[in-house]
Structure 1
């Protein structure tokens, strides 16, 4: 299940410090399988229950970059949205996401360079009260002047 989200574009001229957008998604086995196929990451910690049980995670987990992909979805679809150019992303993985977990991703505007159309975004993903991923993104936002 995915929350209804506001899709579209927020141009640099309309972006403000503190603007926030969120996305919630249950990560299921089909997401993990598809991500493994697309990325070619077939690490058994994501696919093999017996193998994963003997790891530090004690069971299967989703790919970290699958979780991080929710941040990309917010940036590309909501804030700033369509026309955004991803320039840089830092990530720290803090806890695993397991099949069936509801992940809430959030992106918040931390800094803006209007002249260069650069927006710095604080990024985080959580499962319940547990932050599983945090980081920062730098993007070039679209401009109404260039439509």
Structure 2
């Protein structure tokens, strides 16, 4: 994609244990329908209110992969930011996430491994009632600029 140069995120030496970020997302029908359209996922537990009402959940769930996408997007946009690459993910869906919920994702850098050039970021996500819904750990390679590119901008 061509476009204007964009600022890259924090490099490994600019990150520290304790760096954090909080992102709040409202899960709306348009987001779920876009995800389902892109993935061709027709699981009735995600889209059919009648079906979901007959399950233990009673309401349609938000697809877990969509929630993982929200988290990886925040990593790519903010912490460490543009140019970073998620290399490992561990996610525990503690409680279900339902349509129309507001979820707050709290990210924290818990380890900076200078030797491997990887940071470990935990994510604790809670719904609007304060209930934990996700515990996750991401291993992320912060952006690296090589081959004579500017330290701040990438085209």
Structure 1 unaligned spans of 5+: 1-6
- Structure 1 distance, partners of 2:64, 2:124, is 12
Deviation at 1:144, TM superposition (A): 6.3
Q: For residues 135 and 145 of structure 1, what CA distance do their matches in structure 2 show? A: 30
Aligned match of 2:142? 141
Q: TM-score, normalised by structure 2?
A: 0.84
Aligned length: 141
1:96 aligns with 2:64: no
Please report how far the alpha carbon of residue 9 of structure 1 lies from its aligned counterpart in structure 2 after TM superposition.
1.2
In the alignment, structure 2 segments of 5+ residues that lack a partner are: 1-6
Q: Is the 2:20–2:107 contact (alpha carbons within 8 Å) kept by the matching residues of 1?
A: yes
Contact 1:112 1:118 in 2 (8 A): yes
1:98-117 equivalences under 5 Å are 98-117=98-117
CA distance in 1, matches of 2:72, 2:51: 30
Distance 1:72 1:120 in 2: 13
Q: Larger radius of gyration, structure 1 or 2?
A: 2
Secondary structure at the residue paired with 1:123? Answer: strand
Deviation, structure 1 residue 115: 2.8
The alignment's TM-score, normalised by the length of structure 1, stands at 0.88
CA contact (8 A) 2:8 2:83 kept: no
- Residues 1:121 and 2:99 are matched in the alignment: no
Deviation at 1:116, TM superposition (A): 2.4
Aligned twin of 2:72: 72
Q: Where has structure 1 moved over 2 Å in runs of 4 or more?
A: 143-147
1:30 aligns with 2:30: yes
